[in-house]
């Protein structure tokens, strides 16, 4: 081990520590006082409900844990978007669980809450997984209603998805464990089965105060829409539960009786741990964004028995392609190579850049994986496509378009891991969020942006200083540096993996050591959904 390895290891371990500290605070939701208030009401928190529902000692992954991070500060914040989403196992069956966090504005829906709920439904629909809703929400957060109510990807889309999932035969179970008001009342009732907790759960289109104001009727909320009303009078709900645990136990019993599913048939053998120590990833991944490293060394610490069968190893070397297994599942890996290399013609190729030959290789490999029904794993550390006259004359746009086309039309499930840079069109070609990866997640070392921070800041600073000069202002070196530093600080915040995760551009920020679990559980989920389309590249210039 050299000194650089130790420096990298220290740096990356500090990033992991920072990640864990931030997330520990997020998991408190609205804070300890509000958690205590819930407990005094005889209710469990959203995370406690999910922990009780999921099988003990079984793996699970959390989607969107950092959603809302740093957002809505003027409204008091919205930790985890006010809703907790996990993929885990209930009685051995893989499910998606969605639980409103009543400690955050009484579980009210912020704009990002709707986006996160839609993402949970998207995962359930893509993978045909049962989805469980644990409802405890005051409805739309009214101060921001214009950002959540009327548009296509807003609140109403959730009920549209309820209906579509029902027609697809995807099991939906809802437990009303607190407030369930106004339009939100449709979500549990559009599920296959709904239950309500006695005395704490309530369902109505309008609460007692609004009923009084609207029609002059005086009635209390329990009589209006409590458990007894809906289980014995209206018939809106199917089961009455005496408390949270009773409702969750009933969900377990229902899920335990769901029949087997048709499988997509992805290849799996007995899982083997990597032969190389996974923890060495911390020392291999460099601290500096422009420092070289060999992506093959990262891959060897992610795949079973560290066995990686490379495809076209000596050609298009700034992208690595090959076959491996992750937790027993067969995968095709497409990864960026940051090491500076010599091309087949003896010329130097910059690491992390996609050249025509590497794009061509990746396109062919993606097509092969689709033909063989092998899930794809994209490992991103990409600065973009190569620019300059030689690349343009060589048809880099055409070759890049082929790769984008292959990624877009791929029918096997795709999974994206952002380990370093994720800039510009490189993000797209390497299966960014716009290209429908089943799961997309980042390591704390990741950056997402249209270009690198220093480059972008220089361009923006030049534009701003030119504008100041045009206005007749004096711009000396000190002023230029001040402008650059200000822009660079703002840009650095926006390229942070936390900025991306807060807006759900990625599903999570994870410790590199959890990568295998995320990919394995993702492929297991995808195996619930047989492939119905054939791979077709469409019309393409060759």
Is residue 394's pLDDT more than 80?
no
Higher per-residue pLDDT: 7 or 399: 7
Tokens coding 440: 């997309």
* Whole-angstrom distance, CA of residue 209 vs CA of residue 215: 10
In whole numbers, what is the pLDDT of the chain averaged over residues?
Answer: 92
pLDDT of residue 542: 54
At 132, phi and psi to the nearest 5?
A: -115, 130
426-438 pLDDT, tens digit each: 999 999 999 999 9
Return the percentage of the chain with pLDDT > 70, whole number.
96
* Beta-bridge partner residues of 326: 329
Residue reference for tokens 């891959």: 299
For strand 83-90 and strand 61-63, is the pairing parallel, antiparallel, or unpaired? Answer: antiparallel
Q: How many residues does the chain have?
A: 542
Give me the mean pLDDT over the 457-479 stretch.
76
Q: What is the pLDDT of residues 311-326, one digit of tens each?
A: 999 999 999 999 999 9
Whole-angstrom distance, CA of residue 367 vs CA of residue 40: 57
Helix (H, G, I), strand (E, B) or coil at 35: helix
Asked whether residue 273 carries a pLDDT value surpassing 80, the answer given is yes
Please give the Cα distance from 508 to 528 (Å, whole number). Answer: 22
What does the pLDDT look like over 66-116, one tens digit per residue? 999 999 999 999 999 999 999 999 999 999 999 999 999 999 999 999 999
The conformational region for residue 344 under phi > 0 = left, psi -120 to 50 = alpha, else beta, is alpha
pTM of the model: 0.93
Split at pLDDT 50, 70, 90, the class of 369 is very high
Report the C-alpha gap between 466 and 170 in whole angstroms. 58
The pLDDT assigned to 20 comes to: 98
pLDDT > 70? residue 453: no
Interatomic CA distance for residues 80 and 517, integer angstroms: 21
- The pLDDT of 138-161, averaged and rounded, is 88
State the virtual CA torsion across 16, 18, 23, 26 in degrees, nearest 10: -170
Q: Of residues 184 and 2, which shows the higher confidence score?
A: 2
CA gap 354, 407 in Å, rounded: 15
């Amino acid at each position: 081990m050299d000194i650089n390895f130790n420096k990298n290891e220290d740096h990356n371990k500090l990033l992991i520590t920072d990640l864990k500290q931030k997330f520990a605070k997020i998991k408190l939701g609205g804070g300890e006082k509000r958690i205590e208030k819930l407990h005094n009401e005889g209710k469990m928190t959203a995370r406690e409900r999910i922990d009780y529902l999921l099988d003990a000692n079984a793996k699970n992954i959390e989607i969107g844990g950092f959603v809302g991070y740093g957002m809505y500060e003027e409204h008091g914040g919205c930790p985890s978007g006010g809703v907790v989403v996990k993929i885990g196992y209930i009685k051995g069956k893989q499910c998606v669980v969605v639980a409103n966090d009543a400690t955050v504005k009484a579980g009210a829906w912020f704009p990002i809450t709707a986006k996160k709920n839609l993402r949970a439904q998207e995962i359930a629909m893509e993978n045909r997984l049962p989805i469980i809703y644990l409802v405890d929400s005051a409805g739309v957060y009214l101060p921001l209603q214009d950002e959540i109510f009327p548009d296509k990807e807003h609140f109403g889309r959730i009920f549209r998805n309820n209906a579509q999932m029902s027609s697809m035969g995807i099991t939906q179970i809802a437990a009303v464990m607190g407030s369930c008001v106004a339009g939100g009342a449709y979500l549990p009732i559009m599920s296959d089965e709904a239950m309500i907790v006695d005395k704490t759960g309530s369902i109505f289109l309008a609460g007692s105060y609004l009923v009084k104001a609207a029609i002059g009727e005086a009635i209390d909320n329990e009589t209006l829409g409590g458990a007894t009303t809906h289980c014995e009078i209206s018939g809106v709900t199917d089961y009455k539960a005496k408390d949270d645990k009773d409702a969750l136990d009933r969900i377990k019993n229902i899920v335990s009786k769901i029949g087997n599913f048709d499988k997509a048939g992805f290849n799996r053998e007995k899982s083997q741990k990597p032969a190389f120590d996974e923890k060495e990833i911390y020392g291999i991944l460099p601290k500096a964004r422009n420092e070289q490293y060999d992506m093959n060394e990262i891959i060897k610490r992610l795949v079973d028995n560290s066995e990686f069968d490379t495809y076209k190893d000596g050609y298009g070397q700034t992208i690595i392609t090959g076959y491996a297994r992750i937790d027993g599942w067969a995968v095709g890996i497409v990864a960026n190579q940051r090491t500076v290399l010599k091309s087949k013609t003896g010329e130097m190729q910059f690491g992390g850049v996609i050249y025509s030959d590497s794009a061509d290789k990746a396109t062919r490999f993606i097509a092969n994986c689709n033909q063989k029904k092998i899930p794809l794993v994209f490992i991103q550390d990409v600065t973009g496509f190569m620019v300059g006259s030689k690349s343009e004359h060589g048809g880099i746009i055409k070759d890049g378009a082929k790769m984008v086309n292959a990624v877009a039309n791929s029918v096997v499930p795709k999974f994206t891991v952002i380990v370093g840079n994720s800039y510009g069109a490189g993000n797209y070609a390497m299966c960014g969020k716009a290209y429908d990866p089943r799961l997309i997640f980042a390591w704390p070392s990741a950056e997402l942006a249209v270009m690198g921070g220093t480059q972008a800041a220089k361009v923006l600073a030049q534009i701003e200083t030119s504008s100041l000069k045009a206005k007749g202002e004096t711009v000396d070196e000190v002023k230029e540096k001040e402008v650059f530093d200000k822009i660079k600080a703002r840009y650095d915040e926006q390229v942070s993996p936390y900025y991306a995760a807060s807006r759900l551009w990625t599903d999570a920020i994870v410790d590199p050591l959890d990568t295998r679990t995320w990919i394995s559980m993702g492929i297991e989920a995808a195996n619930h959904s047989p492939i119905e389309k054939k791979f077709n590249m469409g019309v393409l210039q060759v």
